[in-house]
Amino acid sequence: MPTDPSAAAKSTRSRILAAADALARSDGPGHLSLDAVAQRAGVSKGGLLYHFPSKTKLLEALVEEFLSNFDGMLRARETDARKDVLISAYVEFFLNERRLGDPPPSGLLAALAEDPELLAPVRRYERDFLDRIRANASDPALATLAFLAVHGIRAMELLNVKVVDEEEVAEVVTWLKHRLTGESA
């Protein structure tokens, strides 16, 4: 049975993006070179350049992939009409990332270092997401505070400038979850 060339191309493209994301998370965004990504993805540099003609195009795709995956996960929760479901899902997503030991998404930092304009779609997405959170919130100010707290913790971890320890993070997240859902974490 012949293989579908477009499916193979999508698979290779996905493998390259996964390799770029993994490299940025494990080795830091400064190590995100085309050679390193190609090696990690198991493709030739020419194969990588076929899918992403430049590092900028790779970073653009990495940012788009991150936003698409993240948005898909949260939109699935938006079908629930209850108040605070979106900010609660966002906090839960953050907690699951931490439980799994996933480092923060360094691909965004790599994109920022390469070209600050690559983050324009992130700014638009984050503004839209914050508007959706606030529209679904019983207390928009509290929802905004939870959004900012998660971003602040991620930023500290991403920049390796942790000024709060795990116990303090857990205390803040427990407080937020209790206020948002009425449950203890």
- Each of the 185 residues of the chain gets a pLDDT tens digit; together they read 445 666 776 789 999 999 988 888 777 766 778 999 999 999 999 999 999 999 888 888 888 888 888 888 888 887 777 889 999 889 888 888 888 776 666 666 666 667 778 778 888 889 999 999 999 999 999 999 999 999 999 888 877 788 999 899 999 999 998 898 776 54
Given a contact cutoff of 8 angstroms between Cβ atoms, the answer to whether 133 and 144 are in contact is yes
Quote the pLDDT of residue 99: 83
Quote the pLDDT of residue 184: 52
Given a contact cutoff of 8 angstroms between Cβ atoms, the answer to whether 111 and 62 are in contact is yes
The CA-atom distances, in angstroms, between 115 and each of 21, 85, 91, 137 are: 17, 34, 29, 34
Quote the pLDDT of residue 1: 46
- Output the pTM of the full model: 0.72
Given a contact cutoff of 8 angstroms between Cβ atoms, the answer to whether 41 and 85 are in contact is no
| Nearest of 26, 49, 38, 43 to residue 110 by alpha carbon | 26
